[in-house]
Amino acid sequence: MKVAVLGATKGMGRALARRMAQRGDAVALLGRDRGDLERSARDLEVRGGARVGIAICDLERPETFAPALEAAEMALGGLDTVVVTAGLFAAQDRLEADPELARRLLLVDFTNTVAFCEEARRRLLARGGGTLCVFSSVAGERGRKPVVLYGAAKAGLTRYLEGLDHRFRAAGLRTVCVKPGFVRTSMTDGLPTPPFAGEPEGVARRVLRAIDAGTPVVYAPAAWRGIMLLIRLLPRFVMRRVGF
């Protein structure tokens, strides 16, 4: 693959980019911190033996989206896959206490992520198609007390990706919506660890298989598919009483 990864310097994105480089995929890293990008690129070059492209792309700055994808295309000599793992997370209590942070999270995790995906979609379809893989979350499956705002953003993102799959799959665009459950990363440091918590490496293995197969929806770890099926079936009066 010739793949651009937005958010590959940390956590699940880093684990996925490493797996891609190790198997010989051509990779370009997009992110907002040049130092992090350069260090991650050197790491991937050691693992994969090929030069890794980098470009500045900040989900809070939509003007960076098109130039970053253009730079990735030039560095790779084409582009057939775009992966988006970047985003913001904060606990519900903190978001309720900080309206500006809440605004930023909603903007980044929904509006600007969709805008970036639209730029990627246009470029991939202009080349005859490709794969757009985007990390959403199980938090978007159902309205839940601990993730009201974060879950709302991810719910919107999930529905957008589903709509893309319906509209453009026949034109050659394969959309992969990743729904991680709780994964041990810097984003979840300090949070209580629930059962079935995953590790970035395990998520990366599962996601890479889904990208190769063009699977429209993938839960990671796999146990979350069954967990969320049960959550979706719970009556509303039960959801009001539980803290999950």
pLDDT tens figures, 206-240: 999 999 999 999 999 898 999 999 999 999 999 99
- Mean pLDDT for the stretch of residues 2-27: 94
Q: Which fold has domain 2-241?
A: Rossmann fold (3.40.50)
Please check whether residue 129 is in contact with residue 172, taking contact to mean a CB–CB distance below 8 angstroms. Answer: yes
CA atoms within 13 A on the CB side of 75: 22
pLDDT digits over 154-201, tens only? 999 999 999 999 999 999 999 999 999 877 665 555 556 666 677 889
In the chain, where the domains are located? 2-241
pTM for this predicted structure: 0.92
pLDDT digits over 19-45, tens only? 999 999 999 999 999 999 999 999 999
pLDDT for residue 185: 62
Under the banding of pLDDT at 50, 70 and 90, the label for residue 3 is: very high
DSSP state of 128: T
Q: Is 82 helix (H, G, I), strand (E, B) or coil?
A: strand
Please check whether residue 139 is in contact with residue 156, taking contact to mean a CB–CB distance below 8 angstroms. Answer: no
CB crowding 125-159: b at 16 or more within 10 Å, else e = eeeebbbbbbbbbbbbbbebeebebbbbbbbbbbe
CA 202, 210, 221: angle at the middle one, nearest 5? 35
Per the DSSP assignment, residues forming a β-bridge with 1 are none
